[in-house]
Amino acid sequence: MTTKDKIATIRKEIEKIGTGYGMMTLTNLAVPTERTQAFGAINKVIEIARAQGHKAFFNVGEFYGPNYANLHLVRDFFKEYPNLREYVLISCKGAIDNKKLTPKGKYEEVVASMETCIKEIGVFIDIFEPARLDFNLCKEHDVYPKETLQAVADFVDAGKFGAISLSEVNGEQINAISKDFGDYLVCVEIELSMFRDTILKNGTAKACSDNALPIICYSPLGRGILTGQITKNSDIPDGDFRKKLKYFSDEALAHNQEIVNFIKSEIVEKRPDEKRVTLAQVALAWVRKWSYSSEYPKSKFIPIPSGSSATRVSENFEESKTQLSDTEFEKINEYVNSFSPIGGSYEFI
């Protein structure tokens, strides 16, 4: 199969996916998920995807935990279940300083990161994402560092990866990168939730649609706020980076909780018992519903919630019974457009 054919195949597989699996929290918390429990959750994701007739989508990262813990979790899982690898698309983020979390975008730095990811994960990586772009490397008049993307494209051409995803980019950058590297691109990962809908307002989602790129939506549950399980800062365990985020301060939560109260009273509690859904299911259904919006006709919106247990995965990946009606969707959008959360995505106390 040629490189072009491989990329086309990955694109087709992504278009079939409704919900992907964000695996960061399995290894990136102060107390990582116990291995047997994590394997049970991973198995459940694959089981659900296969039942729905598509591949599972794993979102992993070189820097998701100390000593490549996230990559090793995936490596060890497929050592135990090698026959399941064919049912999964792996999207891996790298090209970032694992301690400082700053971009490492020089050509040789990206190559080093990619080689590390390949070595540590031990299985084929379908999609590689430079987690952040270093705009200090931009040449005059460029809006993105070409050497970063060129490094990944060279690895794709060499058969070391399947394709490229972008991460944390804006509309102008998406358009420019698509012009130069569009043949390699299969998706864009950016934040989207009812709590943080910036990409719908700043042209980023439109650029994805204009370039026919699916949107991999991270933090679709507002980093946990939209589950209704975090009402005060002490609900977050020590060692969890969210504990230091401004919008998880007690003062901010008192305000930010208003969107949760709205969803509960206006959506969840107004459904008949046979169609009852959880707060998390409403939040995920809202993200998926944008796939059918006339505003973004060429983009699919794929939320990637976490899920540290098989039970939580089953809740998050239930799609057929948790769809929003057009009326519910419009009601939520009207509220979201009038709501301003306290705290930025990476604004610390």
Q: Hey, which residues does 185 pair with through a beta bridge?
A: 164
Question: How many angstroms separate the CA atoms of 230 and 122, rounded?
Answer: 36
**Burial, 209: exposed, middle or buried (Cβ in 10 Å; 0-12, 13-18, 19+)?**
buried
Q: Where are the alpha helices (DSSP H) in the chain?
A: 3-16, 35-51, 69-80, 107-121, 146-157, 171-181, 204-210, 250-263, 279-289, 310-316, 326-338
Q: Could you report how far apart the first and last alpha carbons of the chain are, in Å?
A: 51
CB atoms within 10 A of CB 30: 10
Q: How far is CA 124 from CA 74, 84, 92, in A?
A: 11, 13, 10
Q: Of 342, 24, 18, which Cα lies nearest the Cα of 196?
A: 342
**In whole angstroms, what separates CA 312 from the centre of its chain?**
17
Is 64 assigned a catalytic role? Answer: yes
Would you report the helix, strand and coil content of the chain in percent, each value rounded to 5?
50, 15, 35
Q: How far is CA 230 from CA 121, 153, 233, 259, in A?
A: 33, 41, 7, 13
Question: How many angstroms separate the CA atoms of 258 and 253, rounded?
Answer: 9
- Cβ(204)–Cβ(171) below 8 Å: yes
Q: Of 165, 163, 226, 164, which Cα lies nearest the Cα of 192?
A: 226
- Cα atoms in the Cβ-side hemisphere of radius 13 Å centred on 289: 20
- Cβ(342)–Cβ(259) below 8 Å: no
Spot the catalytic one: 21, 64, 68, 184: 64
- Positions annotated as catalytic residues are 64
